[in-house]
Amino acid sequence: MRKSETSRAGWWFLLVVILVYLLVGLIKPAVIFPSLIFLGGIFLKIWWVFLFVFVLLSFLNYYVQPKHVYKYLGKSSGAKGWMMAIVGGIISTGPIYVWYPLLNELQKHGTRNGLIVAFLYTRAIKPALLPLLIFYFGLTYTVVLTIVMIVLSVIQGIIVEKLIEVEK
Amino acid sequence: MLADNTPKQAVFKAAKAIWRSFPILFGAMLLVALANTLIPKAAYGYVFFKNAILDSFIGSAVGSVLAGNPITSYIIGGELLAQGISMTAVTAFLVAWVTVGMVQLPAESILLGKRFAITRNIAAFVFSILAAIITTAILGVL
């Protein structure tokens, strides 16, 4: 998809979502106001993540050349690349969609799709939320699930990358 | 070692990338808010059959459709366990909640490519069940 097509598709997507809201508003008007309140809550919680992503993007545009991305996150990045994707996924905060613009830029710069998959998968491991997970499900469960997720993120990354290449 | 952009150009490009993503991100947030309001938390318990294998699939499917803060998934997961739903099903639900995003799929498709988004989400769905089976199997022998 070309850049202009991407931005046009985005506006079309937003228009469809607004139409969905109008439709739901006609059928169940009581739902709209709480949804918008919830939306406000999301904004209040994640505005700083947007700011952080903006700073990261600026940093990426200024300091990073495609050849650096190829070296550290490209086809020949090896174990280091997987490590960076996993650690990045674990320490990244906020909703998944906030990270799409940055991942989109990295993808355009030549980052392996497998690493993006691993990044998105390991986002399920949240250090700040681990105490809560331990509280609900126990320490052993939390440790085992975390290790299983890290291992599976690499396997999933490799499989998805191969599947995308085959489909091409 | 620096890229060809001046600091001003780098910031401008970043702002442009965020602006390009704005309708997609805003649309995804609107959908997440609507899904959270439309589906009451108590409704989740009714879709399970108390069959470990079938429930793992259902857990993953429910987690895939829903979105929101992982804390919400922990609370619902704890409630489901208390209702007698298997640990495998609850784990599949927890993992799918964060890794599979049906609500965010349109946004992911537009920004990362349709082929990438569909393949990744299907794989994440399957892997949420796998992660659940492996985790509970390991816990069983510990």
Q: pLDDT (tens digit, 9 = 90+) per residue, A117-151?
A: 999 999 888 887 788 888 889 999 999 999 999 99
Reference B24, options A81, A59, A98, A119; nearest CA is A98
Q: What value of ipTM does the predicted structure carry? A: 0.79
The reply to whether A108 and A165 lie within a common domain is yes
| d(C-alpha A105, C-alpha B18), whole Å | 11
Do residues A83 and A132 share a domain?
Answer: yes
The DSSP letter of residue A33 is H
Domain span holding position A52: 1-63
Same domain, A82 and A158: yes
Q: Are residues A20 and A83 in the same domain?
A: no
CB atoms within 10 A of CB B126: 14
Number of domains in chain A: 2
A80-96 exposure pattern, b = at least 16 Cβ within 10 A, e = fewer? ebbebbbebbbebbbbb
Does A113 sit within 8 Å of B5, measured CB to CB? no
Candidates A64, A100, A143, partner chain B, best to mutate (most B CBs within 10 A): A100
> How is residue A118 written in tokens?
């691993």
Chain A CB within 8 Å of residue B123 CB = yes
Q: Are residues A46 and A70 in the same domain?
A: no
Contact between B65 and B102 under an 8 Å Cβ cutoff? The reply is yes
Q: Give the residue from A63, A78, A94 where a domain finishes.
A: A63
Q: Which of A6-15, A65-74, A98-107, A126-135: highest mean pLDDT?
A: A98-107
pLDDT of B1: 43
Is B29–A42 a contact, with Cβ atoms under 8 angstroms apart? yes
Instruction: For residues A23 and A72, state if they share a domain.
Output: no
Q: Which parts of chain B have pLDDT scores under 70? A: 1-4, 41-42, 45, 68
In the numeric block, which tokens belong to residue B48? 């399970």
Q: Do A108 and A36 lie in a common domain?
A: no
Domain end marker among A63, A87, A113:
A63
Q: Assess whether A73 and A117 both reside in one domain.
A: yes
> Is the same domain home to A74 and A36?
no
Torsion on CA atoms A47, B31, A30, B36, rounded to nearest 10 = -80
Same domain assignment for residues A89 and A161: yes
Select from B13, B87, B113 the Cβ nearest to the Cβ of A61: B13
A152 in the same domain as A130? yes
> Using an 8 Å Cβ cutoff, are A113 and B116 in contact?
yes
| Last-in-domain residue among A23, A46, A63 | A63
**Same domain? A1 vs A71:** no
Residue B12 to chain A, least CA–CA distance (Å): 8
Give tens-digit pLDDT for B117-137.
999 999 999 999 999 999 999
